[in-house]
Structures are given as structure tokens and as C-alpha cells.
Structure 1
């Protein structure tokens, strides 16, 4: 039937965790990771971003429940990030992860949609998605992902078609909760599939209306978090990260330059001014000159 035993799945999860920890233990990789930023939105538990912490990335978590001002993404602006975070000192924002609140989108709450649409709660949730997309547009991360269960988030916000569908049992947990991801990321995640013997346990165990039970239902599965890291970390996927950074340029040209011995630093130093001035032809010429030097 293709299922792994629970113990085998947990062993695989430990292997994924060790990949992150070992990146931190290697001084060279840790230093490289520490020059990269991960922004995690609506991340009260910290679960989705924890692998990046383990590997030595600079992780900034924002959640209004953790801090009513700094955690409220409605306060995000150019001035907010410049004045309070020095725009992360110009370091690369490798990833933006966003587990947008799903209460007003998920089909499980469809019976309440009419009331929420009328009293403004739906509009407030839509604005959180728009603010997330504005943040992504501003920082232009190498990878980004918005997570939500099956529902109406895409139809109400104009998100492009979802890129990945998963259940927790794909990554070693024994329950179902179909979840969708939108964004730009490597969707070829490693898996550790186990039989979902608990079924849809979240509403059985955490079916109340309190904030605590809503938070419990929303926690990111640990197995998924480490699997996502495995498929999207910069060290193991150098070409993906670098070509996404310069996504208007030909990926094959960047690959050719890197394979010829030109370093990422040399390429960035040569093309950044032209690229961010939208002079792609000048950037391409600079890459070709580097390969001929």
C-alpha cells in the first residue's frame, strides 16, 4: 500500500532535521546561511520556520498574538522595515513563509461566510493576504509560499493556481488535513507517507471556537516544515536560489557562468546595478564578460 511504518517515518524526519543541524555545525555553511533572511508571517508557533533557525538563517517571525505592534503586518511599510529593521542590512531575503489566517476562507467554516462577509471580517482577512503579497513584492525573496486549507482564499484574493497540495500524513503524521500552497518554491518535497489512522482529527480534538483551539488547529506539521526546508534551502539548491534571485535572466546562462567557475559574489557584483535598473541586456553582457575573463 506504500505506507511507511510510523517508526520509519520518524527516522526519516530525524534525517531531515539532521540536514538542518549539520548545516549549522559546518562553519562555512552556517556563515553563508547567516547572510540570508527568512521572514515568517503569522507564525505564532514558529514551527514552519524552525528548520531555518536550526540551519543558521536569520529568521524574523511576525504574529500579532506575539506582539500587537511588530507582529501586525498591517503596520508593514517601507518605513517600518527601514526604521525598525534597517531593511535587514541589505542581506538577501531568501524566503517569505506565510500561513495566512484561514478562519474566513476555509470551507470548514462556510456556514459563517455570509455573516463574515457582511460585518467586515472577510475584508480584513483579504487585506492580510494583500499585505503579504505587498511584502513579497517589496523584498522579492528567492522563494515564497502562502499556506491555507481548502477554501476560497484564491477566489477572493486573485492568487494564481496553487502549486502544492499536501496532507500531514505525507510527512509522518497520522491524520488528514488537506492544505494548499501558493507561491514560488520547489514543490518536489521528500515524503514519509504513513497511514492516516486518526483521520481528520483536528476538529475532533480542537473543534472549539476559542483562540486556543484555533491556534492548535493551525500549527504547521513538523514533518512538512522540515520537508519544505529540504526542498528549498539555499545550500542544497544553489542554482534554484540564485536563478530565482535574478528571475528575469536566463537560468541556463547563470548555470553556465557558475559551472565555468565564476562565483555568485562575482556575478552579483557585476550585474546588480544593471539588473535592478531593469537593464537586463547590460546584465547579460556583464555575465558573458565574466566568463571570457
Structure 2
């Protein structure tokens, strides 16, 4: 399948799909951190290609509720409106893609766009950390947890300020990326089998 990973420079999700044999392109204003097909530039330059799946990570700096105390300031200088507009433009411009997923932490998009279809946590996919992540889905099933683990560390939220903080906070967890590739990159029969096996493992 032709898969677009929009607004990703880490290559984590791109590489997970590529390992399963898909034709994948990541896109971001920054260069990619790992080898792989990557367009460094505006996501709207490549969005009109006939993609089968598109997974978008629109920036949440000005929409996340973790920065709610700054909403008034961001409204005055337009940053909040710009963040919301970019998200909504992605939704409109990706209408031709049959399967899409948009991701952000808990944000104002839940009220300005629509409620998310699913909220996932890293500890559902093999990582003992907390980071509530909202998923807006079209043409894709809910993501099935693959490995429930103990541990509820808030590492991401408590990261010390630094030049790499924003990049590390936005990076998708490996377990989540692998689950998306396995469950959304397979045909419906394989996805159903994976979901059944996962459910048995979690319950058993």
C-alpha cells in the first residue's frame, strides 16, 4: 500500500510500515532522523498523491490542553488559530484518502473538530508510561492494545527543558507504531486474526 506519514521526522511510524513491505513516505519540515523515504517540506506538497493510508501528527504546541494557561496569549497573537487551522486544513485536504488517522494529545480539537474515536496510552503497547493520545480515525478500526504493562511513569511530561525536548515529546512510541503497522497495514482478515489473538493474550 501507499502510506503517507505526515508531520513525522523521527521515522518511527514510517519504518514500522516499511518493515512490512509497504511503500511509505514520511514528511516534515525537518530532516528525518533515520534512513528512509522522506520529503523535507510542506505536507501539502505531497498530500494529493493517491495514498491508501495517511497517518498525520499535526503539531499540538498551540492546541494541547497542557498549555491551556497560555491560550489567551496564543489567541491574541494568532498562534492558537494557526494551530487549529492547520489541523482542519489537513482534514479537508486528505478527504480523498480512504483511511486516515490524526493524532494529538488531549487538545482543544476535541471540541473545535469532534471528539476523538479513541484515546490510547503507551502502557497499552508495552511501555510503562502515561501519555494520553487522542486518535481521530476514518476507515480504520480502533487500535487494539498489544501488551498491557505495569508502570505509570509520567516521563514525557517531566522531561527537562532542552533543545531536544519537543522532538522527543512528539516521537511516537515504538510499540504503538508497530501496532498501527500490524493492525492497519494488513488486510481485513489478518487484522481480525491479530485482534482475536491479542484479546486472548491480554485476557489469558
Normalising by structure 2, we get a TM-score of 0.81
CA contact (8 A) 2:124 2:145 kept: no
1:134, distance to aligned residue in structure 2 (A): 2.6
1:238, distance to aligned residue in structure 2 (A): 6.0
| Aligned counterpart for 2:129 among listed residues 162, 166, 175 | 175
Q: Which structure has greater strand proportion? A: 2
Aligned pairs, how many? 184
Post-superposition CA distance 1:14-56 (Å, at most 9, x none): xxxxxxxxxxxxxxxxxxxxxx211111101011222211112
Alignment of 1:254-265 (within 5 A): none
| Aligned counterpart for 1:228 among listed residues 154, 165, 180 | 180
Over aligned residue pairs, what C-alpha RMSD do you find?
2.4
Partners of 1:120 and 1:168 in 2: CA distance: 32
SS at match of 1:130: helix
The equivalent of 1:219 in structure 2 is 171
The equivalent of 1:49 in structure 2 is 14
Which structure has the bigger radius of gyration?
1
Alignment of 1:267-286 (within 5 A): none
Please list every run of 5 or more consecutive structure 2 residues that lacks an aligned counterpart in the other structure.
33-38, 192-204
Alignment of 1:1-293 (within 5 A): 36-66=1-31, 70-73=40-43, 76=44, 80-81=45-46, 88=49, 93-137=51-95, 140-156=96-112, 158=113, 160-184=114-138, 185-197=140-152, 199-204=153-158, 206-208=159-161, 210=162, 212-234=164-186, 236-237=187-188
1:214, distance to aligned residue in structure 2 (A): 0.9
1:165, distance to aligned residue in structure 2 (A): 0.9
Change (3 A) 1:207 1:43: same
Please list every run of 5 or more consecutive structure 1 residues that lacks an aligned counterpart in the other structure.
1-35, 241-293
